[in-house]
Amino acid sequence: MVLNKKNFNAVVVVEGKDDTIRLKQFFPGIETVETNGSAVSKQVLEELKKLSQSREIIVFTDPDFNGERIRRIVTEAIPTAKQAFITRKEGEPEKRGNSLGVEHASKEALERALSDLHEVERKQSDLTEEAYRSLGLAGGSDAKKMREKVGAILSVGYGNSKTFYKRLLTFGISLSELKDALEEAKNGK
């Protein structure tokens, strides 16, 4: 996948300049808007709303608490924004002490994330909270590890139990799709 101005009409929302630098390293023509922190100013939201009238918006934030907060704020302002995710492992820094982030992801991880976009689905998922819990994705000793694996398989990222459940619903993931992904995660495929 080659991303440049000619065939990539999207604007990618990232957290900061290091994310922009990393993306431009592999995709020179890519355009980004930096939120410069988890507060996301009204000015940035207004810029994104205006851009969304003629361009696709992709939210591509770090796989951590602040990244999720930014994702939620931007998606509330621009419900049509598509979502790109890297796993926590893909966002791990090489140097100890640095935080998780898009700026640490490999070219392959970035390409996968930007080619496997998710959008808020208007369809109703048949996934219930009871079914979700019964699959062991909340409260169990392996729940965190399984959410991480399933999130990678479904390309929806990682989240705590409540966030992950909401994300599955937001993207219209069915109970059947979740069961298939969970089976794949358990079998280590």
- The answer on 14 and 103 residing in a single domain is yes
- The answer on 111 and 19 residing in a single domain is yes
Amino acid at 136: G
More confident residue, 86 or 189: 86
pLDDT in tens, 132-168: 988 989 987 889 989 989 988 888 888 889 889 988 9
Q: Kindly state whether residue 77 falls inside one of the protein's structural domains.
A: yes
Q: Kindly state whether residue 157 falls inside one of the protein's structural domains.
A: yes
- The answer on 147 and 66 residing in a single domain is no
Q: Kindly state whether residue 82 falls inside one of the protein's structural domains.
A: yes
- The answer on 111 and 81 residing in a single domain is yes
Q: Kindly state whether residue 42 falls inside one of the protein's structural domains.
A: yes
pLDDT at 167: 86
Q: Give the Cα separation of 136 and 98 in Å (integer).
A: 31
- The answer on 157 and 88 residing in a single domain is no
- The answer on 158 and 86 residing in a single domain is no
**Mean per-residue pLDDT over the chain, rounded:** 86
Look at the chain and report how many structural domains it folds into. 2
Q: Kindly state whether residue 124 falls inside one of the protein's structural domains.
A: no
- The answer on 51 and 77 residing in a single domain is yes
- DSSP annotation string for 57-113: EEE---SSHHHHHHHHHHHHH-TT-EE----TTTT--SSTTPPP-GGG--HHHHHHH
> H or E element: which one contains 124?
none
Domain boundary among 115, 148, 172: 115
Q: Give the Cα separation of 70 and 66 in Å (integer).
A: 6
Residue 92 sits in a domain whose CATH number is 3.40.1360.10
Q: Kindly state whether residue 53 falls inside one of the protein's structural domains.
A: yes
Amino acid at 91: G
Q: Which of 5-9, 72-76, 94-98, 144-148 shows the lowest per-residue confidence on average (mean pLDDT)?
A: 5-9
- The answer on 56 and 19 residing in a single domain is yes
Q: Which of 90, 158, 78 is nearest to 119 (CA)?
A: 78
Q: Is the pTM of this model over 0.85?
A: no
Q: What range defines the domain where residue 43 resides?
A: 10-115
